[in-house]
Amino acid sequence: MDLTAKLTILERMLAIYDRFVAEFDLACEKYCAHCCTANVTMTTLEGYRIFAHLETSGGLERLEGMAGLSHPDRFRPEISINRMADICARGGDPPEEQLNPEAGPCPVLIDDACPLYGVRPFACRCMVSARNCGQTGFADMDPFILTVNDVFLQHLEHIDAQGYTGNFADVMQFLANSENRSRYSTGRLGLPPEGLVSNQPVFVLMIPPDHRARIQPLLKEIRSIQV
């Protein structure tokens, strides 16, 4: 599948997700940015979408030195979500991921607003809460939303199975390099550089038994996407 087709699938999946999450009563609003931390992760496909947006709208300079602007102890995944699901399904122990709660704000956040809002990573889009996290200290998320989030993350990795997953800043830093972008857009990526991990297809979806029936309509929608 070529990159244009992957980007089209990504857009359609995000539209499905937005319709799904709009059914919930959420406290999320503009200038509420407690969830905008340096720990956000994404796939290379999502990073490429951001790059393409900045190339068209201006603002590519935001990518320069992105990794240097982010907290040095930002979250960097050791494995992708599909790899983790695979290990768990086989009865193995996935590595314990360490997330630094003191990693500070996302490096692109300006005055508590996201300049990339329309093309923000799915990990930002799916971070929602029924109550303001600033008041509660945590996100109050319906367990079914958590399950749906995992399923979307797994499918997003699946369509970018030849790409990488990593911290937002590391993926953007990687794609800021024209040679890396060229290798990515032509499907010629090799082993990931330090800080990024390889994606893989979905082998098993992480759906708890009590959500299996409820999630079927969404799965049907995702699987009916055609480009």
Can you give the binding site for ligand SF4, defined by CB under 6 A? 27-28, 32, 34-36, 40, 106, 108-109, 114, 116, 120-121, 124, 127-129, 132-133, 139
Min. distance of Cβ 207 from ligand SF4 in angstroms?
Answer: 23
- Residue closer to ligand SF4 by CB (options 85, 108) is 108
- Taking alpha carbons only, the member of 29, 33, 25 closest to residue 134 is 33
SS (H, E, C) the chain: CCHHHHHHHHHHHHHHHHHHHCCCCCCCCCCCCCCCECCCEEEHHHHHHHHHHHHHHCCHHHHCCHHHHCCCCCCCCCCCHHHHHHHHHCCCCCCCCCCCCCCCECCCCECCECCCHHHCCHHHHCCCCCCCHHHHCCCCCCHHHHHHHHHHHHHHHHHCCCCEEEEHHHHHHHHCCHHHHHHHHCCCCCCCCCCEEECCCCCCCCCCHHHCCCCHHHHHHHHCCCC
- Residue closer to ligand SF4 by CB (options 27, 219) is 27
- Residue closer to ligand SF4 by CB (options 111, 179) is 111
Min. distance of Cβ 184 from ligand SF4 in angstroms?
Answer: 19
- Residue closer to ligand SF4 by CB (options 28, 87) is 28
Min. distance of Cβ 49 from ligand SF4 in angstroms?
Answer: 12
- Residue closer to ligand SF4 by CB (options 39, 200) is 39
Min. distance of Cβ 41 from ligand SF4 in angstroms?
Answer: 10
Min. distance of Cβ 150 from ligand SF4 in angstroms?
Answer: 17
The Cα-based distances of 61 to 86, 114, 181 in angstroms read 38, 16, 16
Min. distance of Cβ 27 from ligand SF4 in angstroms?
Answer: 4
- Residue closer to ligand SF4 by CB (options 35, 161) is 35
Q: What is the CA radius of gyration of the chain?
A: 17
